[in-house]
Structure 1
Amino acid sequence: MAVPPLNHPCWQRIAGGSLARLKTQHLGTQLMAKRIERSTDPVSAKAVELHAYFSKWERALPNEIQQLASL
């Protein structure tokens, strides 16, 4: 499954707080999620950062990427 495009509504939802529901065993993703949750950046900046992260690690995170649209 491919990473949804940046204009997909899931990125705004995830950046707005749904990231906590992501089920992952990947340590880097867990750390990134905690950092994003604590960040005071605007939701749009968080969404761009999340999209860049999942695009970069697309091949290593197929289970996490599959969950993105449903979060």
Structure 2
Amino acid sequence: MAVPASNHPVWSRLASGGLSKVKTSQLAAQLFIKRIETSKTPTPQKAKEIFDFFAKYERIMGNELQQLTAL
């Protein structure tokens, strides 16, 4: 599955608390999710960071990308 475009609404939903619903066994993703959840960064900036992360690790994040359509 391909990463949704950077302007797709899913990134804002994830940045607004939806990221905690993503189930992953990837340690890097677990650490990233925890860091984003505790960050005081504004939502639009979080959304960009989340998009960048998924775009960078698209090859190994297939399971996680499939979950994005349900969020």
The TM-score with structure 1 as length reference comes to 0.97
Percentage identity across aligned positions?
51
Q: Which has the higher helix share?
A: 2
Q: State how far apart, in whole Å, the 1-side matches of 2:16 and 2:38 are.
A: 11
Q: State how far apart, in whole Å, the 2-side matches of 1:26 and 1:6 are.
A: 22
Structure 1 segments of 4+ aligned residues over 6 angstroms from their partners = none
SS of the residue 1:41 aligns to: coil
The match for 1:68 is: 68
CA RMSD, Structure 1 to Structure 2 (Å): 0.6
The match for 2:43 is: 43
The match for 1:31 is: 31
Q: Which runs of 5+ in 2 are unaligned?
A: none
The match for 2:52 is: 52
Count how many residue pairs are aligned between Structure 1 and Structure 2. 71
The TM-score with structure 2 as length reference comes to 0.97
